[in-house]
Amino acid sequence: MKIYKLIHVVFFIFLSCEEINKSLSYVTIDSPKSDAIISGIVTIECSFNNISDIDIVELWIDESYSGISENSDPYSLSWDTSNYEDREYSITVRLIYKNGSYIDSEPLLINLYKTVELFGQYYSVENTTELDLNNNMLVGEFPSKVIKLVNLTILDLSFNQLSGQIPSDLKNLDGLRILNLTGNQFRGSIPPEIGLLEDLNELKLSMNQLSGIIPNSIMNLENLTNINLSINQIEGSLPENYDNLTYLTFLNLSNNNLTGSIPDELGGLENLKELKLYRNNLSGELPNSLCDLIESNCMVSLYDNQLCPPYPACIENILGEQETSNCN
């Protein structure tokens, strides 16, 4: 009887330790993120502990085993979505341990899209890299389905009648090189998330009704060659840090409500060919560094501001009319 009790106690301790170890184990899906839009072959990345005790890793879709598993470290699960229809899916990663026990990750909801319908046309999510719908008399707010075309490198919706705000979700188009929303009716501020588009070469948002300030995040985009924010209602001062814009050749901030002085750092943009700051409310004295731009054949336009004398000799003849009543 005593031996039975001892065995019972040992067995209880063994089960308790196993349950404790299991409770300390975890698996988390790191990529894709919740509510992600996917297509093609999707790599499921996850993190977990107790890796030495893992026998196999499985992918479960809508609570059913997908037939996708991996039993060698490092573990990687690649899901080919070609045989799945467009809809939302619940994704779970299951870790099966050598003792037969298992744990599941928290379910991840993701949306599968192979095609996107835009204004009566269908576009392949995986293969569409350029979307040019300029001058098509499009109306309404920014078409949210565009964000599902995750492989876009060129997006041109210029010269339509689109309105509302520019969505911050544009950051998801992380391969975008050209963003052209010129000649619409977009309002509100420029989303700072545009500064996450590291491959962006051209940012064209002119001829809208944008307000607010110029996000400093845009100044971090090292591949920019063209920034055109003209003919809006943008306020505040000019950004002061241009160190990363070494490839910039065209900067047009004209016809806005910009105030404050022109920073000396602008003169350090060695590749700049056009600088347009006219028709703002810029004030103060001009930095001598602008002479460096002019000497390198950069076309500088500063008229219709409130810039104060004395003016650098290199600029005096190209200033045009200035309102100097507020100058000391």
Burial 232-247 (b: 16+ CB within 10 A, else e): bebbeebbeebeebeb
Q: Which domains does the chain have, with CATH numbers?
A: 2-111 (2.60.40.10), 122-316 (3.80.10.10)
Dist. CA 288–CA 135, nearest whole Å: 42
β-pairing, 115-118 vs 202-204, is: unpaired
* CA–CA dist 250, 129 (Å, integer): 25
Model pLDDT, residue 114: 85
pLDDT for 24? 54
CB proximity list for 164: less than 8 A, separation 6 or greater? 140, 141, 142, 186, 187, 188
User: 109 - beta bridge partners?
Assistant: 90
The CA distance from 288 to 313, in Å, is: 9
C-alpha dihedral sign at 300, 303, 305, 310: positive
Q: What is the DSSP secondary structure assignment for residue 216, as one 8-state letter?
A: G
User: Would you write out the chain's pLDDT as a tens digit for each of its 328 residues?
Assistant: 444 333 333 333 333 334 434 445 678 888 888 767 787 888 888 888 767 788 899 999 999 999 888 887 777 788 898 888 888 999 999 989 888 889 998 999 988 888 889 998 999 988 999 999 999 999 999 999 999 999 999 999 999 999 999 999 999 999 999 999 999 999 999 999 999 999 999 999 999 999 999 999 999 999 999 999 999 999 999 998 999 999 999 999 999 999 999 999 999 999 999 999 999 999 999 999 999 999 999 999 999 999 998 888 888 777 877 877 778 7
Task: Enter the DSSP assignment of 286.
Answer: P
Complete DSSP assignment for 99-139: TS-EEEPPPEEEEE-SEEEETTEEEETTT--EEE-TTS--E
**279: nearest Cα among 255, 262, 301, 259:** 255
Tokens of 286: 């001009």
At 250 the pLDDT is: 98
Q: What is the DSSP letter of 190?
A: P
Distance CA 103, CA 312 (A): 72
The pTM for the full model equals: 0.77
* SS3 at position 196: helix
Q: Check if the beta carbon of residue 130 is closer than 8 Å to that of residue 19.
A: no
Distance of CA 248 to the CA centre of its chain: 20
Indicate if the alpha-carbon torsion angle 292, 296, 297, 298 is positive or negative. negative
- The sheet with strand 130-132 has its strands ordered as 130-132, 154-156, 178-180, 202-204, 226-228, 250-252, 274-276, 299-301
Which of the 8 DSSP states describes residue 12? H
